[in-house]
Amino acid sequence: MERTQNQIDKNLCIFEPITPQIEKMRVITVDNLIEEESHFSQVARNEADFNAERWLRYERKIASLAMANIESNIRNLVKLPVIRPVHLSELDSDLVADFDPDAIVLSGTLRDFDFYDERLIAGFDRFIKSNRTPVLAICGGHQLVGQSFGSVVVTLDYKLPSERRYDRPVEYQYKYVKITDSSDPIFAGIDEHLERRWQNYTKRKHLLRVWQNHGLQLDRLPDGFEQLARGYLSEIQMMVRRTSEQLIYGVQFHIEKSFQDWQHDRYWDHRDESRDGRLIFENFLIEALRFRGESEGVLAAAN
């Protein structure tokens, strides 16, 4: 039996209805985790606990969760989405030209980047510097972008990954980060007197409560980027590169968890936790359409 929109809305969030504000959109989602044994570098193979089969099995498990969460956001925020999932090894200008997406969303990662075959990293560097499609880069994807534009990926205590593979300090669970530039469109509506859109702590103090799960960070703001939010352990929590030809957003935290299945996942005890992440994801999609000159696809002001 077909469910009504009202029933769907109630299932998404018990505190408020969430109705898609975007009519249609084409999105490429990129799986940045290692997919096959040939993607491991010699550095990875030299690790004492290297086991290709076991490592790949875990990479694919994490990738399936990450990609499902990203796709869930898109499907719940766009009425008629067309989504093409690809792996990092497939991402190039020809693929993008063929699909003609309105946006590209990069997943997080699991392994240190020196564990990746250098050809994967080099291929991404070439792509991201010439790409003209709006990009949202999440966690490890954020670090991958930053690295391509001149930053160094380090541990939270500013050591190179190779210097501290294990027992690293980590940023985990829901944490607050401070918005440093609320005028960016990614925070649309934050300073307006609208009910229910942003949480009160965000309106009053420009704070976001977001899910963190990482032990690496960027050592500095990449060349050509502006900082949008900062954190306690990780300074570069949000950033943007905005030129006439490029729009790239990076978020260190996991905004893709916004539509996790609260009804079945008993670990989560508050079903509105990731709301800030959902709003950021939604605002990115809207801004990507505007950047592409297709803002007529936005139906109305977002919830």
**Residue 164 maps to which CATH number?**
3.40.50.880
* Residue 67, domain member (yes or no): yes
Residues in the chain, total: 303
Burial of 225 (0-12, 13-18, 19+ CB in 10 A): buried
Position 225 pLDDT exceeds 60: yes
Average pLDDT over residues 281-286: 95
- pLDDT band for position 256 (cuts 50, 70, 90): confident
Read off the pLDDT of residues 143-184 as tens digits, 9 standing for 90 and up.
Answer: 999 999 999 999 999 999 999 999 999 998 888 999 999 999
Q: How far apart, in whole angstroms, are the C-alpha atoms of residue 192 and residue 26?
A: 30
Structure tokens at 173: 């669970």
* Residue 10, domain member (yes or no): no
Q: Please, what is the average pLDDT of the chain?
A: 88
Position 69 pLDDT exceeds 60: yes
- pLDDT band for position 121 (cuts 50, 70, 90): very high
Residue 270's pLDDT is 41
Residue 194's pLDDT is 61
Residue 124, domain extent: 21-296
* Residue 36, domain member (yes or no): yes
* Residue 205, domain member (yes or no): yes
Looking at the 3D structure of the chain, how many domains does it have?
1
Structure tokens at 48: 């004492």
* Residue 14, domain member (yes or no): no
**Of 98-107, 253-262, 275-284, the least confident:** 253-262
- pLDDT band for position 3 (cuts 50, 70, 90): very low
* Residue 235, domain member (yes or no): yes
**Count of Cβ atoms closer than 10 Å to residue 83 Cβ:** 17
* Residue 160, domain member (yes or no): yes
Sign of CA dihedral 58, 266, 284, 29: positive
